[in-house]
Structure 1
């Protein structure tokens, strides 16, 4: 009996921890008249990537509706500037002189632009620009893709086809999460640490781009945990949002077959959408 219990426990744990290698997942059962599909995006990837993925394109085109993280309205562009800038502060105040020079030299070398032009931009945005540049440096494959960001591709195509389109979050919600979740002092500290640690040796498995292109969900989840500042930070960025999104996704999928495109980090982990959907009674299968 003990051996049987051990085997059952092992199988259950294995089923929860190993998702398989796929970016596209079918959602069925639990009363759904037609299946929906969940696709994990990589926000800095360009849409020419989809030219080699006819399976994803086919399911996207066949879906009756589309759900993304956020639908951007150009009339709200002023909000982005409002959230992005520091009206009463600047980078020179937040970072001591020697570290500022280090960051400024790195920013110029990587982006070709002077950091002084962006002194009132929040440090997290400078860090994001460097992160994207580093990702492109570390992966020759990533630079081969062209076009618009892959998330924007799904939005534009859904609008062109006049399909029902819904964003799971508003622009204010996303900007608050990305730009105001941490104090600007903490953001500045993280920015300096990123630049100082850029040359710390990394193993091949640490490359997020390679993990994504291999559809290695477990590897990506391990990386997200390791690179996160804290469990609370990971919860705010991933888990809490997933739990809120589930309450929106269930009635949408019940109404129509839906193609759901969200960042790949939201699929993985114990509170990833794949596990939450299964816990809610849906049958979730990798599409290959």
Structure 2
């Protein structure tokens, strides 16, 4: 399973134009707002190549991101990731634990004992990120802050109104608590055992993102979901919740909304939901 890589983009199904930046207008808006799909591990120097995105950000008076860093919530998040009465050694057979331990050390440089009482999804995401960084040379060509953090920091710097759609606790609940730790452990072992069948997907996904190819990303995610299971719980419910906030925020002021790219398309994606709510949404 390459769970983390798809979490970086989160995409439901639908056919849309090839663009990561969309203008939202009509339905009573005095000025247009903008919807931009991010790639959470891509650095902000990427924006040097996309002046249209920079211009949309500059025009906006409000900036919306998925979440903002809350130092007060760090302890709560850390506690959510821990299994105080369980461990990887208890969840995995001796052979599987050794298999994962060797793979983890080889790719991350860390000893798996450091993660022994962390929920298995923590180990899986760390390992998947390591896979992605090694597979995708393109990512190393960009520098700066991760895109989402850049938009949040730049909004504060320019004194724009910054609004998070979720708390850090809410985001971590999706990651750490959706599946029982037994399933997380089984998925971790499967990821390691089947890594060869997934080689190249990180690069394909990155290339598709840089090309603005949402349809291509959808097809790739379908290949993943057919083999490894549905991740729509990370999309549909969250998009519906966000739609309870976005129209009001855009009515108050021209707003730049930056969320994972794969929240954009699909029958439950933000492009469709905004159109169904009466807005005009067009690619830029």
Q: Same fold (TM over 0.5)?
A: yes
Q: Give the conservation status (yes or no) of the 8 Å contact 2:236–2:268.
A: yes
Q: State whether structure 2 residue 183 is matched by structure 1 residue 159.
A: no
Name the CA distance, whole Å, in 1 between partners of 2:114 and 2:203: 32
Q: CA deviation at 1:205?
A: 9.6
Q: Which of 99, 104, 108 is the aligned partner of 1:102? A: 99
Q: Does the C-alpha gap of structure 1 residues 153 and 205 become closer, same or farther in structure 2, counting only changes over 3 Å?
A: closer
Question: Residue 257 of structure 1 corresponds to which residue in structure 2?
Answer: 254
Larger radius of gyration: 1
Name the CA distance, whole Å, in 1 between partners of 2:188 and 2:200: 22
Q: CA deviation at 1:155?
A: 0.5
Superposition TM-score, scaled by structure 2 size:
0.90
Name the CA distance, whole Å, in 1 between partners of 2:201 and 2:73: 40
4+ residue segments displaced more than 3 Å: 201-206, 228-231
Q: CA deviation at 1:110?
A: 0.7
Q: CA deviation at 1:225?
A: 3.3
Q: CA deviation at 1:235?
A: 2.7
Q: How far does the alpha carbon of each residue in 1:220-277 deviate from its partner, in whole angstroms, 9 at most, with x for none?
A: 122233324434xx23100111111111101111111000000011012221111111
Pairwise mapping of residues 231-246 of structure 1 onto structure 2 (< 5 A)?
Answer: 231=230, 234-246=231-243
Name the CA distance, whole Å, in 2 between partners of 1:78 and 1:219: 39
Name the CA distance, whole Å, in 2 between partners of 1:62 and 1:76: 32
Q: How far does the alpha carbon of each residue in 1:56-78 deviate from its partner, in whole angstroms, 9 at most, with x for none?
A: 11111220101011112122211
Q: How far does the alpha carbon of each residue in 1:119-148 deviate from its partner, in whole angstroms, 9 at most, with x for none?
A: 111110111111111122222111211222
Aligned residue pairs total 270
Question: Residue 9 of structure 2 corresponds to which residue in structure 1?
Answer: none
Q: How far does the alpha carbon of each residue in 1:26-79 deviate from its partner, in whole angstroms, 9 at most, with x for none?
A: 001111100000000111111121122121111112201010111121222112
Name the CA distance, whole Å, in 1 between partners of 2:17 and 2:97: 43
List alignment gaps of at least 5 residues for structure 1: 1-15
Question: Residue 9 of structure 1 corresponds to which residue in structure 2?
Answer: none
Name the CA distance, whole Å, in 1 between partners of 2:130 and 2:277: 39
State the SS of the aligned residue for 2:163: strand
Q: State whether structure 2 residue 259 is matched by structure 1 residue 282.
A: no
State the SS of the aligned residue for 2:197: coil
Question: Residue 174 of structure 2 corresponds to which residue in structure 1?
Answer: 177
Q: How far does the alpha carbon of each residue in 1:75-116 deviate from its partner, in whole angstroms, 9 at most, with x for none?
A: 221122111111111110111111111111111111111111
Question: Residue 210 of structure 2 corresponds to which residue in structure 1?
Answer: 213
Q: State whether structure 2 residue 229 is matched by structure 1 residue 230.
A: yes
Q: Which has the higher contact order (CA 8 A, sep 6+)?
A: 2
Q: State whether structure 2 residue 147 is matched by structure 1 residue 150.
A: yes
Name the CA distance, whole Å, in 2 between partners of 1:201 and 1:146: 27
Q: Give the conservation status (yes or no) of the 8 Å contact 1:50–1:57.
A: yes
Name the CA distance, whole Å, in 2 between partners of 1:263 and 1:156: 17
Name the CA distance, whole Å, in 2 between partners of 1:194 and 1:204: 13
List alignment gaps of at least 5 residues for structure 2: 1-12
Question: Residue 23 of structure 1 corresponds to which residue in structure 2?
Answer: 20
Give me the CA root mean square deviation: 1.7
Name the CA distance, whole Å, in 2 between partners of 1:83 and 1:222: 33
